[in-house]
């Protein structure tokens, strides 16, 4: 007999708390809920944050992060998980230990480094630890353009350079990568997926708005929710792009700075398809 709990898709986020509710754990849990996945969390740091910026960061001990993961895994179970802000090497290492120990998968790694307002969310000295610990365990890595440049050590101002960077990130051990296009210039925001076999693009019109706080968290959480439901990667990325595009297109106009996106919009405007996707080789 199938029990109720075995039909519920369970998604875990391991990330920082954003008191302003637009990014981090809060964005992830809202996204999981909207996509019908049961959300669980392991908090790595508490940030004092609003739409005007990050006003304080309080890292948790690595052991506290590990114990949250233990508690979730040992009782509730995990169908897919993602990581977001992880500020230092000891937290990175203990998360990697738990991912391996419990064979947690599929894992989406959002290599959060710097907040939109400029605050450093990952210690510079921990960048190489991220490459050595979590990236080799990832089903998908989702860097934005500046993060992909840090990971590869290259300027990525052409599509060919971004394709080469995607290959380089797979050489680090990840199974797939999406280099996100939010930081590109021009009239489109195009995300580039490489799964080791072929390239795919997911394109939306670039929306002119200052309310893009937490777009990366929301995107990677949406991929994670869809993977938790058992969707293939390509389909999960397509849905995530649709989710984040609607969330940006229907802003809430909250706060005096970079406001949050609208996590209700995917459900509320369900008949609006705004993106196009194309396979590339």
Ligand X SMILES: Nc1ncnc2c1ncn2[C@@H]1O[C@H](COP(=O)(O)OP(=O)(O)OP(=O)(O)O)[C@@H](O)[C@H]1O
Beta-bridge mates of residue 24: none
The yes-or-no answer on residue 281 being catalytic is no
216 binds ligand X (CB under 6 A): yes
Between 162 and 180, CB nearer to ligand X = 180
23 near ligand MP5 (CB under 6 A) = yes
Token pair recorded at residue 160: 């060919």
235 neighbors 223 (Cβ within 8 angstroms): no
| Residue 20 in contact with ligand X, rule: CB under 6 A | no
Binding at 83: pick from ligand X, ligand MP5, none (beta carbon under 5-8 Å per type): none
Other beta carbons within 10 Å of 208 = 6
Nearer residue to ligand X within complex by CB, 18 or 79: 18
Asked if residue 47 binds ligand MP5 (CB under 6 A), the reply is yes
Strand, helix or coil for residue 251:
coil
From CA 109, how far away is CA 177, in angstroms rounded? Answer: 9
- Residue 236 to residue 234: CA distance in whole angstroms: 5
209 is catalytic: no
> Least CB distance from residue 162 to ligand X, whole Å?
12
Query: Can residue 261 be called a binding residue for ligand MP5 (CB under 6 A)?
Result: no
Structure tokens belonging to residue 46: 């508490």
| 216 is a catalytic site residue | yes
Where does this chain touch ligand X (CB under 6 A) — which range of 42-50, 101-109, 133-141, 200-208?
A: 200-208
Q: Which tokens go with 23?
A: 């990014």
| Closest CA relative to residue 179, chosen from 212, 152, 205 | 152
Among 78, 99, 115, 228, binds ligand MP5 (CB under 6 A): 115
Q: Which of 51, 180, 190, 218 is catalytic?
A: 180
DSSP letters for 60-103: PPHHHHHHHHHHHHHHT--SEEEE----SHHHHHHHHHHHHHTT
Q: Choose among ligand X, ligand MP5, none what residue 24 binds, the Cβ cut-off being 5 to 8 Å by kind.
A: ligand MP5
What order do you get walking across the sheet with 276-280 strand by strand?
53-59, 38-50, 10-18, 80-83, 107-109, 140-141, 177-179, 188-194, 199-205, 276-280
Decide: is 108 part of the binding site for ligand MP5 (CB under 6 A): no
Q: Which does 182 bind (CB under 5 to 8 A by kind): ligand X, ligand MP5, none?
A: ligand X
- Running DSSP on this structure, what letter comes out for residue 28? H
From 24, 106, 143, 181, residue interacting with ligand MP5 (rule: CB under 6 A): 24
Partner whose footprint covers residue 85, from ligand X, ligand MP5, none (CB < 5 to 8 Å by kind): ligand MP5
Counting contacts by CB under 6 A, is residue 16 touching ligand MP5?
A: yes
Stretch that binds ligand X, among 87-95, 156-164, 244-252, 264-272 (CB under 6 A): 244-252
How far apart CA 219 and CA 213 sit, in angstroms, is 12
Residues contributing to the site for ligand MP5 (CB under 6 A)? 15-16, 18, 23-24, 47, 49, 84-85, 112, 115-116, 121, 213-214, 216-217
């Amino acid at each position: 007999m199938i029990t109720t709990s075995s039909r519920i898709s369970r998604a875990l986020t391991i990330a920082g708390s954003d008191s302003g509710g637009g990014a981090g754990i809060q964005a992830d849990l809202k996204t999981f809920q909207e996509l019908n996945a049961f959300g669980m969390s392991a908090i790595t740091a508490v940030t004092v944050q609003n739409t005007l910026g990050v006003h304080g960061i309080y890292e948790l001990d690595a052991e506290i992060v590990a114990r949250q993961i233990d508690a979730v895994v040992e009782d509730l179970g995990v169908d897919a998980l993602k990581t977001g802000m992880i500020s230092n090497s000891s937290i990175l290492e203990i998360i990697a230990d738990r991912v391996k120990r419990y064979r947690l998968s599929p894992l989406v790694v959002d290599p959060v480094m710097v907040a939109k307002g400029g605050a450093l969310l990952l210690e510079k000295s921990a960048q190489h630890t991220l490459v050595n610990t979590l990236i080799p365990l990832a089903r998908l890595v989702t860097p934005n353009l500046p993060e992909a440049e840090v990971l590869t050590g290259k300027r990525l101002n052409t599509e060919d350079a971004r394709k080469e960077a995607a290959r380089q990130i797979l050489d680090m051990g990840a199974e797939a990568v999406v280099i996100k296009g939010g930081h590109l210039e021009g009239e489109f925001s195009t995300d580039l997926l490489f799964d080791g076999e072929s390239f795919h693009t997911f394109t939306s019109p670039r929306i002119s708005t200052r309310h893009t706080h937490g777009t990366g968290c929301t995107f990677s959480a949406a991929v994670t929710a869809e993977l938790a439901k058992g969707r293939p990667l390509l389909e999960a990325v397509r849905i995530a792009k649709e989710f984040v595009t609607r969330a940006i297109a229907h802003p809430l106009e909250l706060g005096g700075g970079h406001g949050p996106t609208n996590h209700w919009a995917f459900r509320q405007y369900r008949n609006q398809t705004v993106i196009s996707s194309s396979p590339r080789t």
